[in-house]
Structure 1
Amino acid sequence: MSDVEEVTLLMDSFDFVTDVTPFSSLETPVYTCIIYLTLLLLCKLLVRIRGKSFNAALQPIVIGHNIFLSLGSALLLAALLYELFENAQAVGGTPGHKLWTIWCDEPPRRYTKGRLYFYYYVNYIFKFYEMADTLILALRDRPTPFLHVYHHAATMVLCWSQLREHSTTQWVPIVINLVIHVAMYYYYAMASLGINVWWKRHLTTAQIVQFVIDVWVCAYATYLKYMFHYGTEDGADCGGTMLAGYFGTGLLFSYLVLFINFYLANYIYKKVQKKRKAL
């Protein structure tokens, strides 16, 4: 069997098995968060001891890092969309039920394993590398606000939890997040090159819209599952667990609140303060 055939077989048969699949154990997100925060403190301490940042030395790395993440996100997005399209074509029934079937994937699981789930796993692995964003900021002696630190760590945990509980709705936030990351890391790459990009504010707006959609999708799927098992109204036994639904919805809602607060602080309150100073 050739290497290409082995990779194809791995993708087609992939499933996230706790304590068997690499980085699937509970210890992985726990230890990763501890190491992440420890390295962040060490980077800040190193800059303080040195007396100046590593900004100049890191410049080529920063450019390459952002270009890699923008292009990598674009490739993974293309692969995910193609697989979703293929799955939609394979779903029987009326066209209006295709995305619903993939989104809810009522047991027995059909779409929360195999090639699509392999792409979810690749997205999860990306989250470990994306944590380097915060460490680079610290080494460049740039601010590392709570939103930034929390978002990177929590998203890794979120991806792990949804893989572990075989959530079927995760493709929605993953696809939207990849779209945002293509644009966001492109913006960071251009900023590193000294090129002005006018749509920075709109990127934050897009992130807020992203989390509004994510929260609704996850909350609605959780509601359907709850009504199916415990309610008196019609529901749907969407794949995944109630724990995944509650955790995912809650965490995404916290993102929404924090990003709205970031938007208000940086684009509304600052504007008001400038007007008051000008009077």
Structure 2
Amino acid sequence: MRSWLSSQRPDMPSVHFGLPRRSLLKFPPGSQPHTIPAPPAERSWLQPFTIPPKLYNDALKVQVPITIAAVYAATVILINRVNKKRGYKPWAISKTKAFHLFVVLHNVFLAIYSAWTFVGMLNAFRESMPARSEMHGNGLVNVVDALCKVNGPRGLGNAAVYDTNADSWTILNPEYKLGPGNTPDPTDVGRLWNKGLAFFGWIFYLSKFYEVLDTAIILAKGKKSSTLQTYHHAGAMMCMWAGIRYMASPIWIFALVNSAIHAMMSQYTYYTLTALKFPIPVRIKKSLTTTQILQFILGTSLAASHLFIYYSIPFPVPHTVTLPPLASVVPSVAAVANATQSGMGSWLKKLALRAAGHEGVAANVVNANGTLFGSDGMRAAEAALGKQEVRYTLEPQTFSCMDTSGQAFAVWLNVLYLLPLTWLFARFFVRSYLRRTDPKAKRSMSHSHAAEKAGLDALKGVTPSSCGTTVQRHHQTPGRRKDGDGQLSGNTHSNRRVGVRGEC
């Protein structure tokens, strides 16, 4: 294991990296520990309600995301076939004002929700990070500890850690105790789980089920929902489920960064403006795609790094030490001991009388000096027999960012899910924005048409519900008209949108 930007001294905190422990590479992952529900909190705009613990854990049963993902995928396949038989004509409901209003409100709601989640997660992240006073000397180790261990009290070495060997939670710092049921105390403050990840992360997980309405909107317009989009939404459900179910620390990355992309970078605001027919400049589309690519690269790298990071903290470890006779250590006691060596017989006689129940007689036994026994006899015994003492020495205790196979599974699942999306975004970006070098093509086509032409080859069939950049193509025979929803009436047209939108 190699040291990384940290002290080599064993009595100083340090950060290392190395290969994951073999016990973490287990499939299916272990079911322990059970998820700690979000703690109750005072009602505020950030946490307006408390999630009942039973509901919290019931929603995290593995049957929930698997069933919803399977039903979602089967429904998409079925309606895709129906739309194909209908010639990809919009359904009547998609042309109503109520449907158009629903699309706008749907995107406005998701934009506001994403902003709320981002603010909540940002606040949790800020309050969980080491204070400025804690950053001197061991700043790196403090940050790593705060990001890797999300349960327990605040402070280096105070985290609640799940010991897979003992199948129980533990806190190494004796000043802190576990809560009811020997689990992390819900009143503990200062770490990510209780500060907001448990609450906002759980709701973010549920939002992945709601987001399938994006696909419903596309299908209602008579369009095809691609296999990529189905993979995207179903994968997002499973990734967020695994992260929250196993309390994997890197899941904060997706809850924080992805909500920021949706809110601060105006992704759902972008969809709202599109639904309201506002023109979107190509540079905005390009910036959204660039941001998504950076999100995937940084998020994937940071999440994967949790598998390889270790850190050491010196803890006081008790050792039992046998002391030499006091006569050889303390000169004053040695004098007393030497003076009483000849009186050991009297002292033993005193002990024998006490053992026989003759306390009164024992009290009158005198020592070698002809006086009653005092503390000198006891000291003589200690000097003769010696004694043991518990002493503490600082020894490094090494921790991994991943405590359980479930946490490692959540990281691997998210990484494997994001890698294809990262490649997809990069390919789309190159074809849409970097390979437009023909001046004639630039004069003959608008920027959006040029981007769309390349994007169709790269991302055929991906809809705006799964994209951060949207481009359109209309093939219209002369004389055809557009209806009120911007769709071409008749069967001799094609209206496709291409792009990608990433989630956890």
> Given the two structures, how large is their TM-score scaled by the length of structure 2?
0.47
The 5 Å alignment of 1:1-279 reads 4=43, 10=50, 21-47=57-83, 52-54=89-91, 55-57=94-96, 58-88=99-129, 93-94=134-135, 96-97=139-140, 99-105=143-149, 107-108=159-160, 110-113=191-194, 115-182=196-263, 183-198=266-281, 199-224=284-309, 236-239=399-402, 241-268=407-434, 271=436
Distance 1:169 1:37 in 2: 27
In structure 2, relative to structure 1, the CA distance for the partners of 1:90 and 1:201 (3 Å cut) is same
Higher Cα Rg, which structure:
2
In structure 2, relative to structure 1, the CA distance for the partners of 1:166 and 1:138 (3 Å cut) is same
Contact preservation (8 Å) 1:44, 1:139? no
The structural deviation recorded for 1:114 is 5.8
Secondary structure of 2:57's aligned partner: coil
The structural deviation recorded for 1:90 is 6.7
Distance 1:175 1:69 in 2: 15
Structure 1 residues 241-277: Cα deviation after superposition (integer angstroms, max 9, x where no partner): 32222222222222212222232343345x3689679
Distance 2:235 2:121 in 1: 22
Structure 1 residues 120-164: Cα deviation after superposition (integer angstroms, max 9, x where no partner): 101101111011111211111234333322211101110001112
In structure 2, relative to structure 1, the CA distance for the partners of 1:153 and 1:67 (3 Å cut) is same
In structure 2, relative to structure 1, the CA distance for the partners of 1:45 and 1:195 (3 Å cut) is same
In structure 2, relative to structure 1, the CA distance for the partners of 1:134 and 1:272 (3 Å cut) is farther
> Please, which moves more after superposition, 33-42 or 125-134?
33-42
Give the residue type in structure 2 aligned to 1:167.
A
Identity %: 24
The structure richer in strand per residue is 2
Secondary structure of 1:222's aligned partner: coil
Distance 1:253 1:104 in 2: 23
The structural deviation recorded for 1:178 is 0.6
Contact preservation (8 Å) 2:117, 2:256? no
The structure richer in helix per residue is 1
Contact preservation (8 Å) 1:208, 1:260? yes
Secondary structure of 1:141's aligned partner: coil
The structural deviation recorded for 1:4 is 4.2
The structural deviation recorded for 1:36 is 0.7
> Given the two structures, how large is their TM-score scaled by the length of structure 1?
0.80
In the alignment, structure 2 segments of 5+ residues that lack a partner are 1-40, 151-158, 162-190, 313-396, 445-504
RMSD, matched Cα: 3.5
Contact preservation (8 Å) 2:107, 2:269? yes
Distance 1:113 1:156 in 2: 22
The structural deviation recorded for 1:99 is 4.2
> Please, which moves more after superposition, 57-66 or 101-110?
101-110
The one of the two structures with greater contact order (alpha-carbon pairs below 8 A, sep at least 6) is: 1
Q: Match of 2:184?
A: none
In the alignment, structure 1 segments of 5+ residues that lack a partner are 229-233
